[in-house]
Structure 1
């Protein structure tokens, strides 16, 4: 075998990752994305969850024209300490079960890191238990300061675990408070 990466039965060179903005997704693309995410998250993915991943960048992984992975990065405004920050917030990270633990998630998240480093003050995500190991392996760090959320009736404490990717170009103290902007549904 030549020097190609071979993981779990897939030649990684056969994985194609497309980077599209939401406006570049056709209605059919959005429908396919919804079906993929709903299936991958075993119907634990609502239309509201879908709305959270729209409006930014989408990384779509294909193997032989089949959608096998997706992650989006959307811009959110958050406050670190007393300083406003533009955050590349990671949403809807999913890899089809048949392709999990084969490098697809790693490849997607490495591209996410590039987007965040070039476009945002920092990156953040709220990990699933299954994804935690991957994010930590790739250098994502836990937020150690207080986590708070804007709500219609004021700022409230959060109990969600948030992992932070520190942008290498900026010094950000992850022991300060982090306040997330308001949105419908899950704040994180």
Structure 2
């Protein structure tokens, strides 16, 4: 397996199209244009097997507040592995370079996880936040309780798991 890391600006058009097709297939039609937009503008890890794209994950810059403290956050987006390559270490191989980028370039890493992926992220050292979640909207702070208990952080120092976390505003799913 070959892992390649690119900035969005350096992705060849064919690779970019292949990533979108992989994400559309992996999320069974539950990956829209806003989700795609969220995955762009940062660093992408891609996994290749015999010249075929089999996995993708990206990290993008976001601005959060953790207990009122502003933080520059590396936010994980668009993690997917082709169905016939799952449970073979591809996800971990994709996350490793992105976690290094987070540790070296950001105050904190964050992501929103599906229930199925919780053991994967916990096994990699991501910590589940149990405190309230918010979005910093143009109209002020808005509670995002549907996202509570699905937000994970990656930090070198322990984070208060009961802390309140507020994310910046964006179209579509804020988390």
TM-score normalised by the chain length of structure 2:
0.93
Q: Secondary structure at the match of 1:175?
A: coil
Distance in 2, Cα, partners of 1:117 & 1:56: 15
Matched, 1:26 2:12: yes
Matched, 1:119 2:105: yes
Q: Indicate the residue corresponding to 1:143 in structure 2.
A: 129
Matched, 1:75 2:61: yes
Matched, 1:176 2:160: no
Give how far 1:20 is off.
0.1
Q: Which has the larger radius of gyration?
A: 1
1:5-20 paired onto structure 2 within 5 Å: 15-20=1-6
1:61-140 paired onto structure 2 within 5 Å: 61-140=47-126
Greater mean alpha carbon deviation, residues 148-157 or residues 51-60: 148-157
Matched, 1:50 2:39: no
Distance in 1, Cα, partners of 2:85 & 2:98: 19
RMSD: 1.3
Give how far 1:124 is off.
0.5
Name stretches of at least 5 consecutive residues in structure 2 with no aligned partner: none
Matched, 1:165 2:154: yes
Distance in 2, Cα, partners of 1:176 & 1:133: 21
Distance in 1, Cα, partners of 2:35 & 2:89: 25
Q: Secondary structure at the match of 2:115?
A: coil
Distance in 2, Cα, partners of 1:88 & 1:176: 18
TM-score normalised by the chain length of structure 1:
0.87
Distance in 1, Cα, partners of 2:10 & 2:153: 28
Q: How many residues align?
A: 172
Give how far 1:172 is off.
4.0
Contact 2:43 2:98 in 1 (8 A): no
